[in-house]
Amino acid sequence: MPQLKLNYFDFHGGRAEPVRLALAIGGVAFEDHRFNFAGFAEFHTTTPFGQVPTLHIDGVQVTQCDAMLRYAGKLAGLYPTDPLQALLCDEVTCVVEEASVRIGPSFRMAGEEQKAARLALVNGSMPVYLAWLQAQLQAHGGEYFADNRLTVADLKVFVDVTGLNSGRLDHVPTDLVQQVAPALNAHAQRVASHPGVQAYYAQFAAK
């Protein structure tokens, strides 16, 4: 097994969280290298694009969160081997990542500028992608997005929905998911109840 070091901010959520979950659920050992925003100012100079997350694999640094997630999923047995199911899995992760890219610039804003930017998403693209995810979930059995089992696609959606519901995103209503795509909240609860997910978060609660 390769030696893995995942580099990201010290909080639950964001682009690295699905990778952390996949590796933890699969019992794949990795160094969970976390830093605060001050630490990022130093670390980002060592990355290819000045961005995180990155993943060191036997000392070689790679980037792009969805590529890392597929790799982690393969190591953990959480990525489909069937080409069509793998495509369905990738489709979902790419849609969620595109939504993350849209909201990303608002984190560098404040005040009325941030409010206007986020309300534009709440009244625009956010309901569209949430409704699409709900339709995809229901079209493939209603429990999981691909392969009739937990995959990295489910982890990616779980982290996204949890973030939207958390109240940490100013100007994004905490009931947006419930109003637009309630099946995604049921899905998030299903993923949260997975023994591997519970064990992962329990280690933090115990500290």
- The domain of 43 spans 4-77
CATH number at residue 12: 3.40.30.10
How many angstroms separate the CA atoms of 10 and 33, rounded?
Answer: 8
Q: Which of 77, 104, 135 is where one domain is finished?
A: 77
- Whole-structure pTM value: 0.97
**Band (160; pLDDT cuts 50, 70, 90):** very high
Same domain assignment for residues 134 and 184: yes
**Band (205; pLDDT cuts 50, 70, 90):** confident
Is residue 96 pLDDT above 70, yes or no? Answer: yes
**Band (206; pLDDT cuts 50, 70, 90):** confident
**What's the confidence (pLDDT) of residue 207?**
65
CB contact at 8 A, 70 and 90: yes
Please provide the DSSP assignment of 102-118 as one string: HHGGGGG--HHHHHHHH
Condensed to tens digits (0 to 9), the pLDDT of residues 40-93 reads: 999 999 999 999 999 999 999 999 999 999 999 999 999 999 999 999 999 999
CB contact at 8 A, 177 and 161: yes
Report how many domains make up the chain. Answer: 2
Contacts of 20 (CB under 8 A, 6+ apart): 6, 8, 30, 32, 200
CATH number at residue 186: 1.20.1050.10
